Amino acid sequence: MNQRLDDIIARIADLENRHRAAEDRNAALEHVVLALREHHDAHRSGSGAAGPDPVVDSVSRRNVLRRGTAVAAGAAAGLVALRPQPAAATTGSMLYGTSHDAGTDSTSLTSSSTGGTLQLHHTGSNSGPALSVERTSASAGRAAHVRLTNAASTADGLYVENDGVGTAINAVNTNTLDSDPVVLATHNGDGIVFEGHSSNVDATASLASLTHHGKGRAISAAISNNTNAASVVFASTNGTGNVVEARTSGMGRAGVFQGGVAQIRLVPSTLGPTHPTTGSRGDLFCDKYGRLWFCKGGTTWTQLA
């Protein structure tokens, strides 16, 4: 029973497709007939002839209809090509300035060109994107997927370059109910997950800047491997500035330290037998012998331990 019902539904769908194709052919034939009439009228108007045209009249109605049917068939084929068709077809052209619907079929583009498989150029002065990708279904599928399948390749999986003054990459999550990260990076190898470089030696801006308008931490770092003896955060400088600088608005402490072995450790200095000659008020210094000194400002030091 179900098989018979499926056959009936398939037959109805086939008849609907045939009906639409017939409508397309009829519409194309009407355009052909109109074009033939306009051509005939223009010919007679230009020649100044009146009455029946012996040349036109010599063409039989059967020949006219045969020519019209042939042209209509070609035009109908072009119209049918605009309907959803399997995008993997080896013939046919994609039209510019219009929308295409491939239905449930996918589109595949393969090229061995050294200049790239697909190039898009937007020369307009408006703010529209050169490429827009949107996924409207509620499934978990990605809107865009980029993959470099050659395991021996050293090229970037995705490269973005901006010659303007805007950001090269801008990621925004507009869903206020979503708690997932805006950017998620995972590394299965032994490389760095995030790495940044500033090539301008005169740049004064921070290499990384984070601002949190909510109530959580601006930065949170953790090591989950309980056999890892590395530091969670490591910082160094080749300049003369501070390695770490912490400030507060006055409502909290600049630093809070908690540890099972020690809350904080000062590594003894190897530069001299005692504290520096001068210092800044508030400096703590541990000399090579393990003595702890506190600077009250200038050359005034007090030994604490």
What tens digit of pLDDT does each residue of 240-256 get?
A: 999 999 999 888 999 99
Distances (CA, A) of 197 to 194, 200, 203, 206: 10, 9, 11, 11
Q: Which of 34, 35, 32 is nearest to 71 (CA)?
A: 32
Band (pLDDT 50/70/90 cuts) for residue 292 is very high
Task: Note whether 220 and 214 are within 8 A (CB).
Answer: no
Q: Is pTM beyond 0.85 here? A: no
- Mark which of 85, 115, 143 sits at the end of a domain: 85
Identify the weakest region by mean pLDDT among 2-6, 52-56, 136-140, 149-153.
Answer: 52-56
107 found inside a domain: no
- Distance separating alpha carbons of residues 86 and 101, to the nearest angstrom: 10
pLDDT for 46 beyond 70: no
244 found inside a domain: no
- Distance separating alpha carbons of residues 44 and 56, to the nearest angstrom: 10
- Distance separating alpha carbons of residues 224 and 228, to the nearest angstrom: 8
Higher-confidence residue of 62 and 268: namely: 268
- Distance separating alpha carbons of residues 233 and 244, to the nearest angstrom: 11
- Distance separating alpha carbons of residues 23 and 17, to the nearest angstrom: 10
24 found inside a domain: yes
pLDDT for 213 beyond 70: yes
Tokens encoding 242: 């501070």
What tens digit of pLDDT does each residue of 8-24 get?
A: 777 787 778 787 877 87
What is the domain extent for residue 278?
Answer: 262-305
239 found inside a domain: no
11 found inside a domain: yes
- The confidence score (pLDDT) of residue 76 equals 42
Higher-confidence residue of 221 and 7: namely: 221
Q: What domain count does the chain have?
A: 2
